[in-house]
Structure 1
Amino acid sequence: MNLIIKPFFSKKSSIIQEKNKCYTFLIRLNSNKIELKKEFYEMFGITVKNIRTMIYYKKNKSKYTKKGLIQGKSKTFKKVIIQLNDNESIDLLYQKNNSKNLNK
Structure 2
Amino acid sequence: MSTIIKPIITEKITKDGELFNRFGFIVNKKANKIVIKKAVEAAYGVSVVSVNTMNYRADRSTKYTKSGMISGKTSAYKKAIVQLKDGETIDFYTNI
TM-score normalised to structure 1 length: 0.83
Contiguous gaps of at least 5 residues in structure 2 = none
Matches within 5 A, 1:1-104: 1-94=1-94, 97=95
2:44 maps to a residue whose letter is F
RMSD (Å), alpha carbons: 1.5
Q: Kindly, what percent of the aligned residue pairs are identical? A: 38
Matched positions, count: 96
Question: What secondary structure sits across from 2:88 in the alignment?
Answer: coil
SS, match of residue 50 in structure 1:
strand
Unaligned runs of 5+ in 1: 99-104
TM-score (norm 2): 0.89
Structure ranking higher in strand proportion: 2
SS in 1 for 2:26: strand
Whole-angstrom distance in 1 between the partners of 2:73 and 2:25: 22
State the 1:62 CA deviation.
2.1
